Amino acid sequence: MARLFRDAYGVPHLRASSVLDLAQGQGAVTARDRTWQMEWLRLRATSGTAAVVGGELAEAWDDYARRMQVINTARRAFASCSEETRAFLTSYADGVNAGLAATAAEQIPELDHLGHVPGEWEPWTPLATFLAQHVLFGNVGARLWDRLATEVLGDDARLLSHEGPHSSGSNAWAVGGARTASGFPLIGGDPHRNLEQPGVYQQVRLACEDPDDAFDVVGFSFVGVPGVQHFAHAGDVAWAITNAAADYQDLVDVDPDATLPEGLLRLAPDLAVRTTSSVLGDLGFEALLPLLRAHCVDDVDRAFAHWVEPVNNLVIADRSGAVRYRLAGRVPLRAADGSWTGWLEDPNRVDVAPDGAVVTANERRGPESDLVGSAFAPAFRAERIKELLAGRGDFAPADFAAIHNDALLPSAAIVTRLVPGAFDDFDGVMDADSAPAARYAAWRSAVVRRLAAEPVFAAIADPGPQHDHGPLLAPSLDLVARIGLALPTLALEALAGRPPYGIDLHALARSALGDLAPGDLPATWGETHVAQPVHALAADDTFDPGIAFLPVSGDQDAVRTMGSYPAISDAATRGAVARYVWDLADRTAGGWVVPTGASGRPGRHHDDQLRPWIAGRLVPIVTDWERLRAVES
């Protein structure tokens, strides 16, 4: 049986004499800390949300999860796992069920509000919940947008290309030991996803004391999945990822009356989706146990050779001083007609010198990216992090934490050139307390509104029933969101003397200045730019999730990514769902933080990391068992 300890923030630390006991303990404590969230994840994976919460969006989600065959793919992936991995997943599911049973008599606000009793987890359920969290993570929305935009705008649709509203990114970077005060490598970063309450990641420590299978790992786990996956520090080695923006989902035109072969998932009568997981029947979970057991860069590299999707950029460092970048995941190769012909077998891999650095922020990395994807994030974040790392040789964890908090918006220096002199008082920093930042954001929204009303975009704004794929995918086709994200690209075209779509963007931008009524402007950027984690019951006005919406610095293309969508909402509903610094000299010298807290239950570390996260502070990583509070299991 696993023994449970907690730190001052309620983060679970688990010790067990076997890996199976550890998995069971992780499942049990996750079910106790995140009872509602675990049930919500199960409902989403099994197309059961509409029966519990109702509503058009829930019905659309359930239909999509069925069309994407989440359950079938999860079962196939479970069957493809080794016996050891299946036992690991089964022990986790057993722990989840035991944890849910232990909370049956306790008050869980969401379950009490709905009058709902959680269902049982199967051994394949962790795979299904993971897949359900990522079926909209790939290219489906972007492909639908490309079809619509190209149909209306032709080749000029490329000017509206950008990391899309539902694409998620991250920052990760590392420096070699010759550039740190300790002489050991440092890794820093933050994954960017939709802000949710409870959060998508579980901070956890997993320690196995089996003499033949010992490990001790701290990291972030996807709630509902055993082990740690993308971000962890195992003492001798640490790793982190960003989204590689790879093309691993395709749209395929199909015969409405034909039976589709395995691997094709019918999205509409004449349209199917092909994904790596549906083709392979694999989700990469064979990596989970090797990651826990990793002791060096090569171990982590080999573990991620099993990974399938999402395709990631991986950064690894160990105490020997090794630092490495590699691509992790299965990338399909395509023939001229778009059919899949095989897989990219030799992933991009680079070893970093002791006096070197590596940065990854979803950007195009070079010619090698041509085989990986077709649309990457703008280089703003990557270039800014490189700038902040340049010329330094004495980095400490606090310096990496400061990089997390860099709120400079590089794209503002481009866009404001459309109206020379109008924003001379704005330094480009999207600080929550900044009045110039608020004025810039209001003007930017006015520009986007005016652009979206241009006749050239009318057929995108109202595309007709052939492009109606329901409310779940509608945000991917949102013209206003796309223009807001693409504004720096459109501005560069105008500044180069190439009016985008024949629009005089200079004149439009000057006219937008007249839309700013001084009395209507927010006093500061933080007045409207508030962190707004979304709850599954947010549409239910009778339920209060109990999380404050607080002013927050940053914006879409800043290193401190706190995404807002000009002319739609200034609220930050997407951003850093975790931050971390992994110090290879000493795990406790680094730190980590999540937007809300370790628990999803009010009064139990529900929101005690919210204010440190808002302020840009990390909370301590504690590894001394004597400093932790033992909890009765």
Residues of the chain with CATH 3.60.20.10: 1-405+585-633
Tens of pLDDT along 446-497?
Answer: 999 999 999 999 999 999 898 999 999 999 999 999 999 999 999 999 999 9
Average pLDDT over residues 42-46: 98
Average pLDDT over residues 241-256: 94
Given pLDDT bands bounded at 50, 70 and 90, which one contains residue 164? Answer: very low
How many angstroms separate the CA atoms of 521 and 524, rounded? 8
Which residue in the block uniquely carries the two structure tokens 């019918």? Answer: 266
More confident residue, 164 or 314: 314
Residue 129 near residue 122, CB atoms below 8 Å: no
For the chain, what is the mean pLDDT? Answer: 95
Residue 77 near residue 285, CB atoms below 8 Å: yes
CA angle, residues 610, 614, 616, in degrees to nearest 5: 115
- Specify which residues 574 forms β-bridges with: 194, 563
Residue 331 has pLDDT above 70, yes or no: yes
Given pLDDT bands bounded at 50, 70 and 90, which one contains residue 588? Answer: very high
Residue 166 has pLDDT above 50, yes or no: no
How many angstroms separate the CA atoms of 279 and 117, rounded? 35
CATH pick for 408-575 out of 3.40.50.1980, 3.90.340.10, 3.40.50.2300, 1.10.1400.10: 1.10.1400.10
For β-strands 186-194 and 237-243, DSSP reports them as unpaired
Residue 162 has pLDDT above 70, yes or no: no
The count of other CB atoms within 10 Å of the CB of residue 271 is 16
Tens of pLDDT along 523-549?
Answer: 999 999 999 888 999 888 888 888 888
What pLDDT does residue 400 have? 98
Residue 168 has pLDDT above 70, yes or no: no
Residues of the chain with CATH 1.10.1400.10: 408-575
Given pLDDT bands bounded at 50, 70 and 90, which one contains residue 394? Answer: very high
Given pLDDT bands bounded at 50, 70 and 90, which one contains residue 161? Answer: confident
How many angstroms separate the CA atoms of 621 and 618, rounded? 9
Q: Lowest mean pLDDT: which of 114-123, 125-134, 512-521, 587-596?
A: 512-521
pTM over 0.85: yes
Average pLDDT over residues 363-371: 91
What pLDDT does residue 165 have? 37
Residue 418 near residue 491, CB atoms below 8 Å: yes
What pLDDT does residue 167 have? 46
Residue 607 near residue 535, CB atoms below 8 Å: no
How many angstroms separate the CA atoms of 259 and 364, rounded? 38
CA angle, residues 507, 510, 516, in degrees to nearest 5: 145
Dihedral, 307, 310, 313, 315 alpha carbons, nearest 10:
-60
Count of alpha carbons within 13 angstroms of residue 523, beta-carbon side: 3
Residue 192 has pLDDT above 90, yes or no: yes
What pLDDT does residue 633 have? 56
Residue 135 has pLDDT above 60, yes or no: yes
Residue 182 near residue 585, CB atoms below 8 Å: yes
Residue 480 near residue 452, CB atoms below 8 Å: yes
Residue 346 has pLDDT above 90, yes or no: no
What pLDDT does residue 176 have? 98
- DSSP for 274-309 reads EEHHHHHT--SGGGHHHHHT--SHHHHHHHHTT--S
**Is 3.40.50.300 the CATH classification of the domain at 1-405+585-633?**
no
Which residue in the block uniquely carries the two structure tokens 């010759």? Answer: 178
How many angstroms separate the CA atoms of 614 and 633, rounded? 33
Q: Which of 78, 72, 19 is nearest to 286 (CA)?
A: 78
How many angstroms separate the CA atoms of 435 and 439, rounded? 6
Residue 404 has pLDDT above 60, yes or no: yes
Tens of pLDDT along 86-100?
Answer: 999 999 999 999 999
The count of other CB atoms within 10 Å of the CB of residue 528 is 19
Alpha carbon separation from 235 to 331, 349, 416, 486 (Å, rounded): 31, 23, 46, 42
Which residue in the block uniquely carries the two structure tokens 């947008």? Answer: 145
Residue 163 has pLDDT above 60, yes or no: no
Q: Residue 584, class by beta-carbon neighbours within 10 Å (0-12 exposed, 13-18 middle, 19+ buried)?
A: buried
Residue 302 near residue 316, CB atoms below 8 Å: no
Tens of pLDDT along 318-327?
Answer: 999 999 999 9
How many angstroms separate the CA atoms of 377 and 380, rounded? 8
Query: How many Å is the maximal CA-CA distance in the chain?
Result: 72
Given pLDDT bands bounded at 50, 70 and 90, which one contains residue 200? Answer: very high
What pLDDT does residue 525 have? 98
